């Protein structure tokens, strides 16, 4: 089945004239992913575009080359089962985690819990107000973790914003007890250097180790001083989470990392990591660290150790996230060109920027190397009023295949095959038309993950979507069930022990 045969498929062809040239110049003038949170604190924020770009968006909608405003289109093998709009939490929807029949959805204002017993009608179990971007979220047993990467007056859920230049300001990790999922209880907090943009779990039997990714220090920030060339490691005892504390700050870039800037124009200087993905069954982790991609040994989870490191100073502006394949012989890294707030899925930016980079892992032990094979980017051009770039995704567990579902903000949700590292291809998609054809409005799918037979997407503005894929290539995954899923802590789907 090819996409060209799908009745819902529309051609994507945007002009590369004056509007395109203007946008490209604007992109080059923007620092690739600033220290401010991604498309976030003000979810309704809109940015002016040139009159040519607005006219081009309207023309392409009228011609049927892109979907109409808020119109839903998808490939024939995707079914849109449900959408649950935002409710009490009006901020930006962010990441997702899963346990049993529940989905835990982060939001810049807190988090929401859904009962997924009927995917066609997810039911809200509770909503917890606890502001602090990004509220990156994960769960392990009866514990829930939230990342706070905005400077707050204190560590409570009643805090207000406060400048990072003030010593009393707080950023870091919050821990909740969700043994009663209807009434989560806030039980602990841990302040971390430069806050917590994202975090990743390495769940041991008695303890949970948390790798905290943060970046962009400043000499004016008392709790975020340069250099900031590593990650915070937190140890959380399961039976007494109130004893959680930072146990180490391993330096991952003793040479300071990618200098970016004038040395590597258009590339972010490495001042920490954006995201880390662990594969505990293989004692491995992959770090997406601004200007660098790294492979780590985590046999001792308290002391992660770098095995290999790569850069792509031609096409990668900001190393954002990482995904292993099941065999742990590949890593997909994403480039968040423009910080998630720019229109980069168009002809002038091209197929190699703001894309995924597929790397094979070759060799053994400490001699393992990351070897670049190809790029993957969604093949459908988007309007210049749509923020679109590679973002969060997960494996679809099919033995012997490397399949992935991924969010692309207003580029929607893409399902793609990278079994052949050199020739990745899309096999399904779902997307909405632009939020606006007059302005660059921030929205779209933040995270799109496969969990126990369904695809779940947290849309920044539109809410919680449930999709079902029906395709012979992905159908075997329906037989694979897990009890818990934090995508940045990848399970071994086929471990029989």
Q: 20 pLDDT band (50/70/90 cuts)?
A: very low
Residue, of 299 and 1, whose pLDDT is higher = 299
Mean local confidence (pLDDT), 215-229: 97
Residue, of 249 and 28, whose pLDDT is higher = 249
Q: What is the C-alpha to C-alpha distance for residues 314 and 370, in angstroms, rounded to an integer?
A: 17
pLDDT of res. 375? 98
pLDDT of res. 408? 98
**pLDDT mean across residues, the chain:** 91
Choose the weakest-confidence range: 46-55, 187-196, 264-273, 476-485: 46-55
pLDDT of res. 46? 82
Q: What is the C-alpha to C-alpha distance for residues 415 and 426, in angstroms, rounded to an integer?
A: 6
Mean local confidence (pLDDT), 134-161: 97
Percent of the chain with pLDDT over 90: 87
pLDDT of res. 45? 65
11 pLDDT higher than 80: no
What are the tens digits of pLDDT across the range 278-333?
A: 999 999 999 999 999 999 999 999 999 999 999 999 999 999 999 999 999 999 99
The H-assigned helical ranges of 1-66 are: 18-29, 51-62
Strand pairing report for 356-362 and 330-335: antiparallel
Identify any residues that bridge with 319 across adjacent strands, giving them in sequence order: 290, 335
Domains in the chain, please, with CATH? 3-485 (2.130.10.10)
pTM reported for the whole predicted model: 0.92
pLDDT of res. 214? 98
Helix axes 51-62, 18-29, angle to 10 degrees: 120
Is residue 173 within 8 A of residue 215, CB to CB? The reply is no
Percent of the chain with pLDDT over 70: 91
Mean local confidence (pLDDT), 14-43: 35
Q: What is the C-alpha to C-alpha distance for residues 400 and 414, in angstroms, rounded to an integer?
A: 20
14 pLDDT higher than 50: no
Mean local confidence (pLDDT), 10-26: 36
6 pLDDT higher than 50: no
Q: Which residues of 124-156 are buried (b: 16+ CB within 10 A; e: fewer)?
A: ebbbbebbbbbbbbbbbebbbbbbbbbbbeebe
Measured between alpha carbons, how far is residue 346 from residues 213, 354, 378 in Å? 30, 10, 10
């Amino acid at each position: 089945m090819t996409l060209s045969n799908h009745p819902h498929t529309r051609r994507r062809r945007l002009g590369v004239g004056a509007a395109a040239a203007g946008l490209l110049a604007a992109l080059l003038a923007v620092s690739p992913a600033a220290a401010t949170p991604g498309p976030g604190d003000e979810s309704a924020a809109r940015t002016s575009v040139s009159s040519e770009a607005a006219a081009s968006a309207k023309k392409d909608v009228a011609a049927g080359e892109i979907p109409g405003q808020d119109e839903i289109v998808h490939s024939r093998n995707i079914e849109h089962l449900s959408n649950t709009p935002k409710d009490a939490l009006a901020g930006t929807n962010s990441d997702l985690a899963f346990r049993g029949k529940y989905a835990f959805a982060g939001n810049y204002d807190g988090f929401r819990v859904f009962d997924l017993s009927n995917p066609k009608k997810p039911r809200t179990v509770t909503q917890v107000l606890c502001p602090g971007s990004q509220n990156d979220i994960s769960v392990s047993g009866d514990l829930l973790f939230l990342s706070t990467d905005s400077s707050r007056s204190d560590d409570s859920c009643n805090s207000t914003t406060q400048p990072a230049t003030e010593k009393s300001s707080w950023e870091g990790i919050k821990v909740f007890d969700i043994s009663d999922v209807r009434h989560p209880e806030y039980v602990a907090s841990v302040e971390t250097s430069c806050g917590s943009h994202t975090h990743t779990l390495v769940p041991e039997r008695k303890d949970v180790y948390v790798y905290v990714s943060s970046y962009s220090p400043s000499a004016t920030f008392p709790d975020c001083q340069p250099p900031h060339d590593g990650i915070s490691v937190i140890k959380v005892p399961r039976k007494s989470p109130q004893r959680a504390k930072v146990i180490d700050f391993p330096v991952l870039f003793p040479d300071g990392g990618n200098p970016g800037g004038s040395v590597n124009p258009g590339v972010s200087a490495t001042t920490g990591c954006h995201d880390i993905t662990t594969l505990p069954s293989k004692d491995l982790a992959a770090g997406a660290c601004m200007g660098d991609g790294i492979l780590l040994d985590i046999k001792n989870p308290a002391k992660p150790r770098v095995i290999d490191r790569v850069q792509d100073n031609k096409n990668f502006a900001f190393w954002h996230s990482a995904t292993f394949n099941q065999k742990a012989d590949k890593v997909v890294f994403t480039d968040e060109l423009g910080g998630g707030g720019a229109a980069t899925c168009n002809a002038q930016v091209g197929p190699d920027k703001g894309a995924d980079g597929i790397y094979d892992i070759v060799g053994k032990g400490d001699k393992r190397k990351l070897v670049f094979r190809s790029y993957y980017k969604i093949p459908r051009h988007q309007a210049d009023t749509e923020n679109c770039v590679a973002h969060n995704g997960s494996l679809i567990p099919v033995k012997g295949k490397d399949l992935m579902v991924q969010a692309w903000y207003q580029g929607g949700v893409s399902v793609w095959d990278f079994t052949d590292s050199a020739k990745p291809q899309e096999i399904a998609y779902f997307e909405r038309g632009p939020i606006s054809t007059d302005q660059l409005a921030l929205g779209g799918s933040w995270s799109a993950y496969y969990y126990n037979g369904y695809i779940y997407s947290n849309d920044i503005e539109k809410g919680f979507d449930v999709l079902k894929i029906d395709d012979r290539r992905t159908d075997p995954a329906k037989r694979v069930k897990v009890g818990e899923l934090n995508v940045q802590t990848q399970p071994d789907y086929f471990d029989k022990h």
